[in-house]
């Protein structure tokens, strides 16, 4: 009796196991996160504004052309570098992504007026493999804390406030706090 029940069950299991089905191949993998063979992972630099005052905080971010994981980024790029070109064509570069460190949002203050060009470059094996579109930034010489830069008074009893650029240790900026005749900070 056991053989009569087990034999048809084993045959049914064997037939079901041998059946070829395409359903599994259709539902496995997420096409949004799979890395294509041609390496089409790209990124874009975003800025919250393209015109800013001196020492205004400008926020930058990186976005990708599709949903990515940290592994996708590390597999495609050894590092991603944020590059700023100033009015004198000097390039300043800051690594925002390399190895285990990934930065997706950062801010920067510009301390000289003028036009700046900024973009992201992706590197693999010490070669640039991708460059984002360039963003043109305009830093204008409008008021800063109620003063124009050429109107800072030069009195010895004034309090000084300093600003240091963490990306460039050679730069320090000192500006003055001053009370006007009516006691309003200038």
pLDDT in tens, 118-165: 999 999 998 999 999 999 988 887 655 555 555 555 555 556 566 666
Supply the pLDDT for residue 113: 82
* Confidence band for 30, pLDDT divided at 50, 70 and 90: very low
Task: Give the span between the Cα atoms of 121 and 38, in whole angstroms.
Answer: 18
| Owning domain of residue 92 | 43-140
Q: Is residue 63 part of a domain?
A: yes
* One domain, residues 61 and 119: yes
Residue 83: which CATH number? 2.60.40.1930
* One domain, residues 136 and 147: no
* One domain, residues 160 and 132: no
pLDDT in tens, 3-13: 667 666 666 66
**What average pLDDT does range 114-120 have in this prediction?**
91
pLDDT in tens, 59-98: 999 998 888 888 888 888 888 999 999 878 888 888 888 7
* One domain, residues 50 and 66: yes
If one counts the domains in the chain, the total is 2
**Residue where the block lists tokens 């285990």:** 100
Q: Cα-flanking dihedrals φ and ψ of residue 25, to 5°?
A: -70, -25
Q: Is residue 31 part of a domain?
A: no
* One domain, residues 104 and 183: no
171-180: Cβ within 8 A, 24+ apart: 171/111, 173/111, 175/144, 175/145, 176/152, 178/153
* One domain, residues 135 and 49: yes
Q: Is residue 8 part of a domain?
A: no
* One domain, residues 163 and 132: no
Supply the pLDDT for residue 74: 85
Is the pLDDT at 16 greater than 60? The verdict is no
* One domain, residues 135 and 155: no
Is the pLDDT at 166 greater than 90? The verdict is no
HEC profile of the chain: CHHHHHHHHHHHHHHHHHCCCCHHHHHCCCCCCCCCCCCCCCEEEEECCCEEECCCEEEEEEEECCCCCHHHHHHHCCEEEEEEECCCCCEEEEEEEECCEECCEEEEECCCCEEEEEEEEEEECCEEEEECCCEEEEEECCCECCECHHHCCCCCCCEEEEEECCCCCCCEEEEEECECCCCCEC
* One domain, residues 147 and 167: yes
């Amino acid at each position: 009796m056991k053989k009569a029940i087990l034999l048809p069950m084993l045959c049914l299991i064997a037939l079901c196991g041998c059946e070829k089905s395409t359903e599994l191949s259709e539902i496995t993998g997420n096409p949004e996160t799979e890395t294509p063979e041609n390496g089409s992972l790209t990124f874009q630099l975003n800025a919250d504004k393209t015109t800013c005052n001196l020492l205004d905080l400008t926020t930058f971010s990186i976005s990708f052309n599709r949903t990515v994981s940290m592994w996708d980024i590390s597999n495609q790029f050894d590092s991603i570098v944020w590059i700023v070109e100033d009015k004198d064509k000097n390039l300043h570069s800051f690594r925002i992504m390399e190895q285990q460190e990934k930065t997706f949002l950062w801010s920067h203050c510009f301390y000289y007026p003028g036009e700046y060009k900024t973009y992201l470059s992706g590197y693999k094996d010490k070669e640039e493999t991708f460059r984002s579109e360039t963003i043109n930034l305009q830093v204008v010489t409008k008021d800063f804390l109620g003063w124009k830069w050429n109107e800072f008074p030069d009195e010895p009893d004034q309090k000084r406030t300093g600003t240091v650029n963490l990306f460039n240790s050679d730069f320090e900026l000192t500006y003055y706090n001053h009370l006007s005749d009516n006691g309003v900070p200038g």
